[in-house]
Structure 1
């Protein structure tokens, strides 16, 4: 019994001491010292002021991030345009009806990069320096750089040295216009050029040429409106386009949306045989 009384007395003493400590703590700090109490919102350091500063900070970073993302997107598009796929704005009627003024075609720059060569019937974009133009026109470097970037994104007309035409003859081919029925022939086989502009003849300028190896004979689909290989006969290069000057193959019409489609392949040259070794006499 004495032991139990001692335990009971110690328990009561502990409770009394704990209550005293709590009372002293409360009296020292007061009600306002509770950790959950909120600061006065009316003061200069209130929650409204604290929230405003991060908002301003976040707004600044948002503007910077937007600019950075925009710059990265432009850089990515320029790299894509330079190495893989380039938009190309059609500036003239020379390829009607296949391509119309204002069309933006997508030029596949990988089409001939891994050993493939341009084929008869392909619609290609090429640099005409040295074939259609003897030298590139002079221009302000800064203006040229800005125009080149805009043209690479399809936002401006292409450089004056860039052209789009259809391949009619490849190295070794003999291309003649016209036969007794007014048709163009390649290696002696008449070509049914269904892609020509309605009412156009294959050519009003007669010619009989053999395409040197490593070059192309190119013509527009709107023959009466096209300045092409025919216009450079008798000049240095004879209107032949070196294969290494080909930028890529026109594979798609990307704009306007109503004309979104592939650039249709033609089977017009399928019957044409490969030229005999050594070319034509």
Structure 2
């Protein structure tokens, strides 16, 4: 009696092939979710721009990615466009609960954490800096040095109100690029002097990811602040 031929694993029936395909898809999805979770937890997270306070650097409906490694291990600096939690209540409270779909997008990093509100502004003053608007020359001064700000919305003044502040340790002074349409540090001096806690900063806005016509990096305009003296030398 002859022996039966060995079963060829490639001759499995359609049910086996279907199961194998499903298993591969599940593994790919699990790996993708795990990688997405790691990336959005430690490296980058997506945010949506709902207002015009940062025009024309950021337009309404832009989607951006923020580098979560700023602050720490990389440091913040003047000119950085940062995303920070609304821990001080600058925005009206959220009245609608997120949907299950929005929660899922939040989990994988397409949307920020549900239930939390965020703002996006440019850092003008770091801890120890004295920031003021000098109406006589129509410029912002930092530690006595006047700066030219090419990112300001066309036709806007650097500020519509005079102010002079010294930024405390552990805080930053932030302003929107669309100065006439930004309720920034200038408008919240009744809440912690208008200063934002560095601990509230979630990351540095680095890339515009959507729409595709606006793909590109987000500049800190280091040249604007190159001649600003350190606060200690002021």
What TM-score range do you get, normalising by the shorter chain? 0.7 to 0.9
- Within a 5 Å distance, the mapping from 1:259-278 to structure 2 comes to 259-266=214-221, 267-276=223-232
Change (3 A) 1:181 1:157: farther
**Counterpart pick for 2:65 among 97, 106, 110:** 106
Q: Extract unaligned runs of 5+ from structure 1.
A: 1-28, 37-50
SS at match of 1:268: helix
- The one-character-per-residue Cα deviations of 1:4-51 (angstroms, maximum 9, x if unpaired) are xxxxxxxxxxxxxxxxxxxxxxxxx9xxx9x99xxxxxxxxxxxxxx7
Q: Determine the structure 1 residue equivalent to 2:180.
A: 224
Count of equivalent residues: 227
Q: Which runs of 5+ in 2 are unaligned?
A: 6-10
Residues 106-156 of structure 1: per-residue CA shift (max 9 Å, x gap)? 211113222x4311101111112136369x75775xx47863542463357
How far apart are the structure 2 equivalents of 1:110 and 1:149?
A: 23
Q: Distance in 1 between matches of 2:112 and 2:53?
A: 18
Task: Tell me how far 1:274 sits from its aligned partner.
Answer: 0.8
C-alpha distance after superposition, 1:76-96 (max 9, x if no partner): 212201111112222211111
Q: TM-score, normalised by structure 1?
A: 0.71
How do 1:1-281 and structure 2 match up within 5 A? 54-114=13-73, 116-130=74-88, 132=90, 137=94, 140=97, 143=98, 147-151=102-106, 153-155=109-111, 160-235=116-191, 237-266=192-221, 267-276=223-232
More strand by share: 2
CA separation of 1:107/1:100 partners in 2, compared to 1, >3 Å: closer, same or farther? Answer: same
Give the TM-score normalised by structure 2: 0.84
Q: Name the one with the larger helix percent.
A: 1
Alpha-carbon distance in 2 for matches of 1:132, 1:118: 22
Using the alignment, how far apart are the partners of 1:159 and 1:227 within structure 2? 21
Report how far residue 157 of structure 1 moved: 9.7
**2:200 and 2:78 mapped to 1: Cα distance?**
16
Q: RMSD of the alignment, in Å?
A: 2.9
CA distance in 2, matches of 1:218, 1:238: 12
Q: Determine which structure has greater relative contact order: mean sequence separation of CA pairs < 8 Å that are 6+ residues apart, divided by chain length.
A: 2
1:273 offset after TM fit, Å?
A: 0.7
